Structure 1
Amino acid sequence: MSLDPRRRPPTQQAQQQQPPIPVPPPPPPPVAIAPAPAPVPTSTTPPKTDALPDTSFKLKFCTVCASNQNRSMEAHLQLASANLPTISFGTGSLVRLPGPTIDRPNVYHFNSTTYRAIHQELAAQDQRLYTANGLLNMLGRNLSIKSYPERFQDWIPGKPRLDHAEDQGAKGTESGVVDVIITCEERCFDAVLEDLHNKGGKLNRPVHVFNVDIKDNHEEALIGGKAIRDLALTLNEAAAKEREIHGNEGWNVGGGKARMGFDEKVPDILAEWQQRWPNLPALWSLAWF
């Protein structure tokens, strides 16, 4: 009786034809569990700011460029944001802004044409162009600071500025005098010194005049405004220390030990500032109202 073929042992050929038994893959390496991040410490202390408290002593500042539009207004904003009394001017004969072509600027009068009116006119003229070149954004900033561009040569030092109560930085400038003038271009620096000389120093009050040379574009104006803020705060700190040591007698008329001590320190303050801002050439002169 023959064996059941199903129970017959496989031949060598059959054994060779059988598929290999699959070998399971090796187990994956163990996953490293990262430690939980440490909790971020929180603080109830408000963020550090260089804005001066209302109760502290503050020098009074004036910023100047050609048209009282870009550089002087950015600096005006920076100083006012630090709670420093600030006014601003231009030295040109007219306010000039870029137009549709280089030979067709937009021209306006100082002391009467408001930033809002200029903004509305340029937006109606070509909103796409003046948005692209940043003019509408600049004018929007300006009209939030004060009403209209002012001309330095028309300013009467010592005349109360009571009609500027809504300006940013107006608090402290009501008397119409400042301690420091900062221009943003050498020709403006020259124009300011010439005008102060022509006005004759009737108040017999000293004023420090600086120039921080800033290119007239929006990016450089922002950098320059921060540099001017740094200079202003450094000057103010030095003046406050002198008043603390020597008292404030004679300060408001440009005399006394505190004022003399501050005046003597100004060149060194400017030299140290210039090391922090080497790409912004600076000038300094002492003049009189």
Structure 2
Amino acid sequence: MSADPRLARSRPQQHQPTPVPPPPPPPPMGNLLSKPGSEGTPDESEQSPAPGQAQVVPDDMFKLKFCTVCASNQNRSMEAHLQLASAGLPTISFGTGSLVRLPGPTITSPNVYHFNSTTYRAIHAELAQQNTQLYTQNGLLNMLSRNLSIKSYPERFQDWVPGKPRLDHTEDQGAPGTEAGVVDVVITCEERCFDAVLDDLHNKGGKLNRPVHVFNVDIRDNHEEALVGGKAILDLALSLNEAASQERGMYGDSGWQGGVGAARQGFDEKVPDILAEWQERWPNMPALWSLAWF
């Protein structure tokens, strides 16, 4: 096993008279594992996957538990949450900002909301009432419609208590398997979020003594690149899950949750190679990796 990183890490309008109802939730945005083009943007086939191309992990196969993280738990983390959950992987998601911030009528007037209490549906209704045309054109209403079909409200990573049962999230996509409030892998979408997650885990002290692999996949915060980034994160998640399943199949699950035993050791040793192979497939998405503890 790698050394405990806790010992080495110590970083310090125009009013619309009648609000429109939310549009119907869009279908899942595809779970293709096709390699990205050299430009790092989706082509037409990626935006509209053909039937039968989505990959779903069978229920009788071992499944790692995943957590996706961006700044406001609105765009990048939610697209990745959707794609992982649609592939049958247990998934939760968070933001790391102090508040939820969304574009407003001007660059100096963002729309600001609280984590853990303001629902996606309430945000959608408010923005639709403010300026339906503006927030339709910039994609916010469609994004929020997608979000409210995944879970109820944005959550803040720093407020999460690992190991606390998530019994009030049974309707979330990806909820089966996450009831115990722990995950095996955290994937952030921006380096500052990666740093915030590692700092928070260090500050929480690893009370569960449970290892967690933390990755960062750098994704620009726009709708198009969030879609491509979600595919890249799904590719990484499936590669990790396949390796973990193989190791557990060979050596059993003894000591897995505590980071000991042959299966866990074999999986942990494979992670750098898995990431290197993934990076070759997705060269336009710089990645980081660290081992941390709950």
- TM-score, normalised via structure 1 length: 0.84
How many Å separate the matches in 2 of 1:49 and 1:249? Answer: 32
Show the counterpart of 2:216.
Answer: 211
Percent of aligned positions with the same letter in both sequences? 83
Identify the match of residue 47 of structure 1 among 52, 55, 64: 52
Q: 1:91-123: per-residue Cα shift (whole Å, max 9, x none)?
A: 000000000000000000000000000000000
In the alignment, residue 109 of structure 1 is paired with which amino acid?
H
Show the counterpart of 2:7.
Answer: none
How many Å separate the matches in 1 of 2:244 and 2:140? Answer: 37
CA contact (8 A) 2:211 2:257 kept: no
Superposition map of 1:144-159 within 5 A: 144-159=149-164
Superposition map of 1:1-289 within 5 A: 47-289=52-294
How many Å separate the matches in 2 of 1:47 and 1:166? Answer: 25
Q: 1:8-54: per-residue Cα shift (whole Å, max 9, x none)?
A: xxxxxxxxxxxxxxxxxxxxxxxxxxxxxxxxxxxxxx935410111
Cα distance, 1:271 vs structure 2: 0.2
How many Å separate the matches in 2 of 1:117 and 1:245? Answer: 48
Cα distance, 1:240 vs structure 2: 0.2
In the alignment, residue 132 of structure 1 is paired with which amino acid?
Q
How many Å separate the matches in 2 of 1:156 and 1:58? Answer: 22
How many Å separate the matches in 2 of 1:148 and 1:77? Answer: 14
Cα distance, 1:256 vs structure 2: 1.1
What secondary structure, in the 3-state scheme, does the structure 1 residue paired with 2:109 have? coil
What secondary structure, in the 3-state scheme, does the structure 1 residue paired with 2:257 have? helix
How many Å separate the matches in 2 of 1:234 and 1:149? Answer: 27
Cα distance, 1:168 vs structure 2: 0.1
Q: 1:164-188: per-residue Cα shift (whole Å, max 9, x none)?
A: 0000000000000000000000000
Cα distance, 1:84 vs structure 2: 0.1
Show the counterpart of 2:21.
Answer: none
* Highest RCO, 1 vs 2 (Cα 8 Å, sep ≥ 6): 2
Q: Which runs of no fewer than 5 residues in structure 1 stay unpaired?
A: 1-45
Cα distance, 1:127 vs structure 2: 0.2
CA contact (8 A) 2:167 2:179 kept: yes
Cα distance, 1:211 vs structure 2: 0.1
In the alignment, residue 253 of structure 1 is paired with which amino acid?
G
Show the counterpart of 1:8.
Answer: none
In the alignment, residue 71 of structure 1 is paired with which amino acid?
R
- Give the total of aligned pairs: 244
In the alignment, residue 160 of structure 1 is paired with which amino acid?
P
What secondary structure, in the 3-state scheme, does the structure 2 residue paired with 1:243 have? helix
Q: Which runs of no fewer than 5 residues in structure 2 stay unpaired?
A: 1-50
Cα distance, 1:231 vs structure 2: 0.2
How many Å separate the matches in 1 of 2:245 and 2:61? Answer: 8
In the alignment, residue 155 of structure 1 is paired with which amino acid?
W
Task: Please tell me whether Structure 1 or Structure 2 has the larger radius of gyration of its CA atoms.
Answer: 1
Show the counterpart of 2:22.
Answer: none
How many Å separate the matches in 2 of 1:181 and 1:147? Answer: 20
What secondary structure, in the 3-state scheme, does the structure 2 residue paired with 1:251 have? coil
Cα distance, 1:154 vs structure 2: 0.1
